[in-house]
Amino acid sequence: MLLPLNRCLRHAPKKYVRKFSSTSRASSKIGQSPVVIPDTVILTKLPPPMSKNPRETPIGSLQVKGPLGKLSLRLPPFVTITETPIPSSTSRRATVTVENAKIRQQREMWGTSRANLQKLVLGVTEGHSAILRLVGVGYRAMTGSGGRVLQMRLGYSHTIEMSVPQGVKCSVPTPTRILLEGVDKTKVNQFAAGIRAWRIPEPYKGKVCALLGRWRERRRRRTLMMAD
């Protein structure tokens, strides 16, 4: 009786199980690349808060402060960020490392922590933005209450009103364009996704409330040919 391959590998001793690739696992390419920190950005490592549960792993945070604001990044205990000066430059180089790159969880968080740090540094220096386009008959947008409320007409019988979250700046350059700006990229994208949810892209009529650069082409309607 022939057994499936997965059952054979499951019951076989580890010394007889061979991997498909003979090369060793490579380290995270994203995690190894350093992050350039401008002189206007200050990184401060904060200690983990006191926890009442002794079994809970303490998680510290890193505060990133820049000219546009400050953000915090949660760091696992096995992730370390080291700053080194760049010769003939006022900027610094931040390197992200982990204790043991052979452990899967640490290897995954290596690249994730580096990407999040890059996103926060970019946010406090230049900021993040998202542009939404309204396409439809009568689709309009405007702001009220000093820019803290977004009002939209998207083909419904009533006007849609959405409160702009803290840390996000909303403006309407034209009636069919919505510009979102903020330091935190997650907040900007979440608010943009909430706006987009009112009018998901429709492939046939083309009525849409979508992010600029993520436009889908319209589909052709199927026509029924009647025989004579």
For residue range 48-59, what is the model confidence (pLDDT) as tens digits? 777 677 676 667
Same domain, 121 and 34: yes
Domain boundary among 104, 125, 146: 125
- Whether 12 is in a domain gets the answer no
Domain boundary among 100, 125, 150: 125
At residue 203, the pLDDT reads 72
Kindly report which listed range (32-36, 111-115, 163-167, 211-215) carries the lowest average pLDDT score.
Answer: 211-215
Q: What is the pTM of this model?
A: 0.76
Domain boundary among 125, 146, 178: 125
- Provide the mean pLDDT of the chain: 82
Kindly report which listed range (21-35, 77-91, 149-163, 191-205) carries the lowest average pLDDT score.
Answer: 21-35
- Whether 199 is in a domain gets the answer yes
Same domain, 101 and 158: no
At residue 211, the pLDDT reads 77
pLDDT tier at 112, thresholds 50, 70, 90: very high
Cα dihedral sign, 210-213-216-217 = positive
- Residues pairing with 211 in the sheet: 132
For residue range 80-111, what is the model confidence (pLDDT) as tens digits? 999 999 888 889 999 999 999 888 888 889 99
| Total tally of structural domains belonging to the chain | 2
Mean pLDDT (whole number) for 129-139:
89
Q: Listing from the earlier edge strand, what are the strands of the sheet with 149-153?
A: 140-144, 149-153, 160-163
CATH number, position 111: 3.90.930.12
- Whether 72 is in a domain gets the answer yes
Q: Residue 87: which domain range?
A: 27-47+59-125
Same domain, 169 and 91: no
Same domain, 175 and 189: yes
